[in-house]
Structure 1
């Protein structure tokens, strides 16, 4: 589902257009930084609802947007699984990426206009 904020929609579309034209996430980051165009993010720290923020383009931020199945019109569950073998001394529960064919749910969403 598209974000209701038109500015967010336009920035995400621009990011994908730049990626299509330039071919790499790094090039997208460079372009956004030079143009002083920050991608939108919703920090997940603190109580919900999470407010929208505009943060500097980074490799990780741009890759997260490009790899997010929601922007391709899909709902997925199970992209990452718990990886207790990677647990560190901080006690955090690390995860590991799972191949697409092993995702538990992958549904294409169609939106009628």
Structure 2
């Protein structure tokens, strides 16, 4: 009984942690003057939208490595996506590809 109460308290506290929502600056697009990213940021496909190759806007992200052989983790609220700047494809045999946090 005591273990169940402690477990329920722990689960309740974990559910009460606020989720971090990051807002990204848009970039790219097939226009005369496409928006660019600030220094130190790169423009990548928005994982919640279509590809910039299909005329969707990208998002500016500060490159932060994740995944790969070391299994690097992203900060809370971000996920690891394939890094578009390299030729390593996790869906084509590149199981140890480094990703970026978005």
Could you say which TM-score interval applies, normalised by the shorter chain?
Answer: under 0.3
Query: Of the two structures, which has the highest relative contact order with CA contacts closer than 8 Å and spacing of 6 or more?
Result: 2
Which protein has the larger Cα radius of gyration, Structure 1 or Structure 2? 2
Structure richer in helix, relative to its length: 1
TM-score by length of 1: 0.20
